[in-house]
Amino acid sequence: MRWFSRGPVITDELWEEALHRHPLVARFEKARNGTHKPTTLRALSEKFLRSMQIRWAPGLERSDHVRVSLAMLACLPVLNLDLRWYRRWRTVLIVPRDYETESMEVDEAGVVHEGVSVAAGEYSEWGTVVIALEDLEESGLGTGFNVVIHECAHVLDNANGALDGMPPLHPGMDAVAWSTVFGDAFTDLQRRVIRGRGRGSTRTRGGGGRRSGHRTGPGRRTAFDPYAAEAPEEFFAVASELFFERPRTLEREYPGVYRQLALFYRQDNINGKS
C-alpha cells in the first residue's frame, strides 16, 4: 500500500486481490457497477483506513492485504450512510484465531452463571473491535458468516449509546414498527433454537452460517446462528450478516426484518438497488 500525506491509497492490485478473497464483495460490486473499476466502496475503504488505528497481536505480521479486506468488509454496511456512524470506533485489534473470553449471565432467579466461551470477534463500547484473522478470512464468502459485519453492526447499534438491537433510525423510519418486527422475530427465534450459555458482545463461531441451516427441531431449520437468540443486539448483528451475505435467505425467513434492514442500511441487496 502506498502512503501519502493524505493517507493510504489502495492500489489496483490490492483491491483486485481483496475482491478475489471475498467473492461476496466482488458480486456486490459487479451488480452495482457492471465492472470492478474504482468505486465508492473503494474510496470509502481508503477513508476508513485513514481514520482507523489497526493493531496486531504479538507474532502477527502486518499485512496490507488484511487491512484492505478489513476496510472493504467494514464499509459495506455504511456504503450508503457515512463513516461518521463509526465515530465511536477508534481501534481494531487483529488476533490470530478464535480466543477464549469469560462470560457471565444472570438467570431469571438471579443466579449468576460464569463460564468461558470461544469468540471470533468482540466489540467494546470504549471504541475497540477485536477480529480473529482466521475468521476475517472466512468472511465475505456468501456463507452467512461475516465477523466484520457482525461487529460493525454492534458499532452502529451503539451509535446512540445503547447496545440494544436498535440503532439510531433515520427520519421517516418507524421505531414502533422496528421494535415490533425485531421483537417478534427474536421471540420466534428463541423458540426455535436451544439457547446457549453466556451472553455479551462476542461472536462465537459454532458453525456460524457455514451450513445451509441450523436444525432447531424436527423438520425445522433456520439460517440464523443460534447465538442470535442470546440477546436483541446479537439478533440484530447476525441478521445484518445475513442481510449482506445471504439476503434472499433472510427475506424468506423474516421478511419484515429484511425490509427494516433495507431501510436502515439504505440498500436493497436482493434487487441490487440503493
**pLDDT tens digits for range 197-255:** 334 444 444 333 333 334 344 334 578 988 899 999 999 999 999 999 999 999 999 99
The pTM of the full predicted model, rounded to 2 decimals, is: 0.82
Give the whole-angstrom CA distance, residue 183 versus residue 179.
6
Q: Which helix (DSSP H) or strand (DSSP E) does residue 124 occupy?
A: strand 121-124
3-class secondary-structure state, position 244: helix
The residue type of 199 is R
**pLDDT tens digits for range 68-107:** 999 999 999 999 999 999 998 999 999 986 554 554 444 4
The residue type of 254 is Y
How does residue 34 score in pLDDT terms, banded at 50, 70 and 90? low
Q: What is the CA radius of gyration of the chain?
A: 18
* Average pLDDT of span 32-42: 65
How does residue 31 score in pLDDT terms, banded at 50, 70 and 90? confident
Residue 172 Cα distances to 103, 157, 168, 237, 251, angstroms: 38, 18, 12, 22, 22
Domain residue spans of the chain: 2-265
Beta strand pairing status for 112-119 and 99-106? antiparallel
CATH class of 2-265: alpha beta
Residue 31 Cα distances to 36, 73, 89, angstroms: 10, 16, 29
Partners of 114 in beta bridges = 104
At 125 the pLDDT is 66
CA 93, 94, 96 angle in degrees (round to 5)?
Answer: 140
Total Cβ atoms within 10 A of residue 94: 20
Whole-number average pLDDT of the chain: 81
